[in-house]
Amino acid sequence: MIFKTIKHIREHFFIKFIFVFTVVMFLMSVLLAFFFMRHQSTVLESHLIHHGKLITDMLAYNARLGVFAENKELLGDVVNGVLMQESVQEVFVYGLNFQELMEKKATPESRSRKDHPARESSIDGKDPILTPYFVESEHEISFWAPVFSRSVGINKEALFPETPVLSPKRSPIGYVRVLVSKDILKARKRLLAGKSVVLGLFLWALGSCTLYLVMNKLIEPLKRLTVTVDRMGRSGQFRKIRIVISDEIGKLAEAFNRMSESIIQRETDKTRLEEQLRQAQKMEAIGTLSGGIAHDFNNILGAIGGFVELGLLEVKTGSVLHEKFKEIEIAGARATELVKQIITFSRQQDDKLEPMFIRTVTKEVLKLLSPSVPHSIRVEQNINAECGMVLSNATKIHQILMNLCNNAIHAMKESGGVMKVTLADVDIEDNVEAHEAGFFSGRFQRLSVEDTGHGIPSETMEKIFEPFFTTKTDGEGTGMGLAVIHGIVSRHNGFIIVHSIPGKGTAFHVYLPLVDLEEIPEIPEKEEAIPMGRGRIMLVEDDPQLLESTAGMLESLGYQVDKQSDGLEAIGFFNRNSWDIHLIITDMSMPGLIGATLAREFHQIRGGIPVVLTTGYSELIDERKAFTLGFAGFLTKPISRKVLAVTVKNLIKIPF
Ligand SMILES: Nc1ncnc2c1ncn2[C@@H]1O[C@H](COP(=O)(O)OP(=O)(O)OP(=O)(O)O)[C@@H](O)[C@H]1O
Ligand SMILES: [Mg+2]
């Protein structure tokens, strides 16, 4: 039990302090009471002695006549006056030889001390007493004073001469003796002791209570702090401590609040970064997986496409089988487009990025979109003309903006609303949302598409960048839009922030790093490999030199070339060898034939044969016109080996 109490005291600063202080206070109170009592009883004693001396001297002075005349009547009044004084027990008046002239007690019950008058004297009782003195016993004090016939050398104005200057010739005529009882002194001392104890106890209690209250007040914030910290430790939830006064404990609470805020902030940052990391890892994994699949699919689709084309060559145009092959071709083209998107998402496409102004492309896209925007949707654009350059690629920006705008328009399809497209340069340091996303420095260009559509519910928010995630009904969307944007933006070393409030709207902010033109290193043009190929090409060209040089180029690229310098001869040759020839390259102006009809002539012999048209700058034909005339490719002279190689390679489809 005792050990338990000691342990309890030791564990609590408050109790420890109160305990020690109470003990100290107690000792101090005892000491104080003791000294108070000592001092007061000394004062009482000296007061009594002083009083005794005074009345004895007064008696000696006033009894002169009575003693001289040895007249009891004269003495009676004087003695009675003295006896009226408090504590005076008995009064004696003696003659010169100590014969008793008068003796009177204060009350008849008072003890008489008539005996031993001589014994109390400092001398043997025979010598005269020249100065007043007193003798103290257990119960009383006996004051003696000589009585002189007249006073000499004393101040006549003094009422009670203290020490009369005695002339050696003077001798006393008698003596007075006053017995003062110590009973009252003792009673007072007892009372004093009682008072001292009470005073001591009072001081002790007062000190202890004051200390308790003060300590309690002081310790209160500490207790609150401890409880809050303890609660926080248990629940892991932060609660701000109320700061009442800004004293040391208040400062401690303030410091604690600051520390807690910083811990919470770090915890939040950590959780957010973990979430970002998890998301990034997920996207990376999906990207790697889908990228690998997409590449294999691409090859398979290539083979399917090739065989479909071959199949198309073998079936009659307009037949049921031809139609079916056409359907396969269309589906294959759609699949190829999808695969292209997956490759973009997986960032395995190595597009060339170069410094460019996004604002031009942005305006172009908005212009392109405007006819398809419903009337219920208002488009606002805020494109800052001062915007800097980013390392990018126009096609990719086109893709990003088209996708974001289409999503926004779709979200407002039923309700209508406002679509806001903003382009501005921002400093990440001043940007709250970027800070939230964990980006802390750098200058970025921010392309924002905001809408007032239906918004994105929080449960789907983390899936929107996943490939094939869509909430659109069949056929409306593939779910590749945002996945592709994610791939593009990551390749730009940028990031995307999405804010959405269901029912209110959505904001997509795409951040792309700004480039300082002076900082762009001179990037040497990468020598791209010229694609080689195989297959048989009929080259029709009336200029013999050009015929030879182009044929030489093609041969160096791995192709077998049949050179023809005359249009009609070329048609005859093709008629004979149509199934061995994979591609025709023909000049625009051939003698005997109008360039425009060339493709038709060749197609009549063998439908589907790819025919590439070569033209000089002066001729009034462009790529688009060439395609409408049925040409599969278009080359402007002078033809570079690289362009020739790429065009031919893309058009010759040999399955193996
Ligand atoms: N602005 C927006 N408002 C509301 N929801 C949106 C918005 N943008 C995207 N979403 C949601 O994110 C999903 C994925 O968008 P994403 O662009 O990747 O695919 P999609 O638009 O469904 O299909 P696709 O882009 O291939 O046509 C959408 O289906 C839609 O649920
Ligand atoms: Mg979309």
- Give the Cα separation of 597 and 567 in Å (integer): 11
Which mutation among 412, 464, 485 tests ligand 1's pocket best, with the greatest number of atoms within 8 A of CB?
Answer: 464
- Centroid of ligand 1 to alpha carbon of 470 (angstroms): 6
Dig out the tokens for 534 from the structure: 């195989």
Dig out the tokens for 163 from the structure: 């020490």
Query: Is the model's pLDDT at 597 over the cut of 60?
Result: yes
Taking CA atoms only, the protein residue closest to ligand 1 atom 9 is 407
Ligand 1: does its nearest atom lie under 6 Å from the Cβ of 257? no
- Centroid of ligand 2 to alpha carbon of 392 (angstroms): 21
Which mutation among 339, 458, 482 tests ligand 1's pocket best, with the greatest number of atoms within 8 A of CB?
Answer: 482
Ligand 1: does its nearest atom lie under 6 Å from the Cβ of 469? yes
Query: β-strands 389-392, 174-181: how paired?
Result: unpaired
* Range of weakest confidence among 132-136, 150-154, 327-331: 150-154
Determine the distance from the C-alpha atom of residue 14 to the mean position of all C-alpha atoms in its chain, rounded to a whole number: 33
- Segment 326-350, tens digit of pLDDT: 888 888 888 888 888 887 777 666 6
Whole-number pLDDT of residue 192: 85
Q: State the first-to-last Cα distance of the chain, in angstroms, to the nearest integer.
A: 98
The mean pLDDT of 548-572, rounded to a whole number, is: 86
Query: Is the model's pLDDT at 523 over the cut of 70?
Result: no
- Give the Cα separation of 44 and 46 in Å (integer): 6
Band (pLDDT 50/70/90 cuts) for residue 431 is: low
- Give the Cα separation of 612 and 595 in Å (integer): 11
Ligand 1: does its nearest atom lie under 6 Å from the Cβ of 483? yes
Dig out the tokens for 613 from the structure: 């048209």
Ligand 1: does its nearest atom lie under 6 Å from the Cβ of 482? yes
Hey, what CATH topology would domain 536-651 get? Rossmann fold (3.40.50)
- Centroid of ligand 2 to alpha carbon of 456 (angstroms): 13
Whole-number pLDDT of residue 583: 92
Whole-number pLDDT of residue 185: 83
The mean pLDDT of 554-579, rounded to a whole number, is: 87
Whole-number pLDDT of residue 595: 63
Band (pLDDT 50/70/90 cuts) for residue 122 is: very low
Taking CA atoms only, the protein residue closest to ligand 1 atom 29 is 470
Whole-number pLDDT of residue 267: 85
Ligand 1: does its nearest atom lie under 6 Å from the Cβ of 505? no
Taking CA atoms only, the protein residue closest to ligand 1 atom 10 is 407
Q: 10 Å Cβ neighbour count for 266?
A: 10
Ligand 1: does its nearest atom lie under 6 Å from the Cβ of 408? yes
Whole-number pLDDT of residue 521: 54
- Centroid of ligand 1 to alpha carbon of 414 (angstroms): 15
Taking CA atoms only, the protein residue closest to ligand 1 atom 7 is 407
- Segment 447-482, tens digit of pLDDT: 999 999 999 999 999 889 988 899 988 778 888 899
Ligand at shortest distance from the CA of 484: 1
Closest Cα partner for 452 from 415, 399, 427, 485? 415
- Centroid of ligand 1 to alpha carbon of 404 (angstroms): 8
The mean pLDDT of 487-507, rounded to a whole number, is: 91
Whole-number pLDDT of residue 550: 84
Query: Is the model's pLDDT at 16 over the cut of 50?
Result: yes
- Give the Cα separation of 285 and 280 in Å (integer): 9
- Centroid of ligand 1 to alpha carbon of 345 (angstroms): 15
Closest ligand 1 atom to Cα of 470: 29
Query: Is the model's pLDDT at 426 over the cut of 60?
Result: yes
Whole-number pLDDT of residue 440: 60
Between vectors from CA 496 to CA 490 and to CA 497, what angle results, nearest 5°? Answer: 160
Omega before 638 cis (within 30°)? Answer: yes
Closest ligand 1 atom to Cα of 478: 26
* Range of weakest confidence among 394-398, 547-551, 621-625: 621-625
Query: Is the model's pLDDT at 117 over the cut of 60?
Result: no
Whole-number pLDDT of residue 241: 72
Which mutation among 470, 473, 497, 500 tests ligand 1's pocket best, with the greatest number of atoms within 8 A of CB?
Answer: 470
Burial of 578 (0-12, 13-18, 19+ CB in 10 A): middle
Dig out the tokens for 205 from the structure: 């209690």
H helices within 559-640, ranges in order?
567-577, 595-605, 623-628
Whole-number pLDDT of residue 464: 93
Query: Is the model's pLDDT at 44 over the cut of 60?
Result: yes
Q: Which residues of 126-153 are buried (b: 16+ CB within 10 A; e: fewer)?
A: eeebeebbbeeeeebbbbbbbbbeebee
Which mutation among 342, 406, 407 tests ligand 1's pocket best, with the greatest number of atoms within 8 A of CB?
Answer: 407
Whole-number pLDDT of residue 280: 80
Whole-number pLDDT of residue 119: 44
Ligand 1: does its nearest atom lie under 6 Å from the Cβ of 651? no
Whole-number pLDDT of residue 111: 60
The mean pLDDT of 101-106, rounded to a whole number, is: 85
Average pLDDT, the chain: 81
- Centroid of ligand 2 to alpha carbon of 406 (angstroms): 6
Band (pLDDT 50/70/90 cuts) for residue 527 is: low
Dig out the tokens for 192 from the structure: 């004093």
Q: 10 Å Cβ neighbour count for 8?
A: 11
Of residues 435 and 628, more confidence is placed in 628
Between vectors from CA 272 to CA 266 and to CA 277, what angle results, nearest 5°? Answer: 120
Q: Per mean pLDDT, which of 4-18, 97-111, 204-218, 513-527 is the most reliable? A: 204-218
DSSP-based three-state secondary structure for 545: helix
Whole-number pLDDT of residue 432: 66
Closest ligand 1 atom to Cα of 408: 1
Query: Is the model's pLDDT at 520 over the cut of 60?
Result: no
The mean pLDDT of 164-174, rounded to a whole number, is: 64
Whole-number pLDDT of residue 642: 81
* Range of weakest confidence among 175-184, 571-580, 596-605: 596-605
Sign of the C-alpha dihedral computed for residues 199, 205, 208 and 210 taken in this order? negative
The DSSP result for 302-340, as a single string, is HHHHHHHHHHHHHSPTTSHHHHHHHHHHHHHHHHHHHHH
Ligand 1: does its nearest atom lie under 6 Å from the Cβ of 400? no
Query: Is the model's pLDDT at 643 over the cut of 90?
Result: no
The mean pLDDT of 640-654, rounded to a whole number, is: 83
- Give the Cα separation of 398 and 353 in Å (integer): 14
Dig out the tokens for 514 from the structure: 């700004």
- Centroid of ligand 2 to alpha carbon of 409 (angstroms): 10
Taking CA atoms only, the protein residue closest to ligand 1 atom 1 is 408
CATH classification of 353-519 is 3.30.565.10, yes or no?
Answer: yes
- Give the Cα separation of 178 and 53 in Å (integer): 9
- Centroid of ligand 2 to alpha carbon of 495 (angstroms): 18
Instruction: For the chain, give the percent of residues with pLDDT over 90.
Output: 12
Ligand 1: does its nearest atom lie under 6 Å from the Cβ of 506? yes
Whole-number pLDDT of residue 519: 57
- Segment 22-40, tens digit of pLDDT: 888 888 888 888 888 888 8
Whole-number pLDDT of residue 562: 92
Query: Is the model's pLDDT at 118 over the cut of 50?
Result: no
Closest ligand 1 atom to Cα of 505: 3
Query: Is the model's pLDDT at 522 over the cut of 70?
Result: no
CATH classification of 14-187 is 3.30.450.20, yes or no?
Answer: yes
The mean pLDDT of 296-322, rounded to a whole number, is: 81
Ligand 1: does its nearest atom lie under 6 Å from the Cβ of 463? no
Query: Is the model's pLDDT at 560 over the cut of 80?
Result: yes
Of residues 280 and 559, more confidence is placed in 559
Whole-number pLDDT of residue 453: 94
Whole-number pLDDT of residue 412: 94
Closest ligand 1 atom to Cα of 453: 3
Closest ligand 1 atom to Cα of 479: 19
The mean pLDDT of 243-271, rounded to a whole number, is: 81
Ligand 1: does its nearest atom lie under 6 Å from the Cβ of 477? yes
Taking CA atoms only, the protein residue closest to ligand 1 atom 28 is 470
DSSP-based three-state secondary structure for 161: coil
Query: Is the model's pLDDT at 618 over the cut of 50?
Result: no
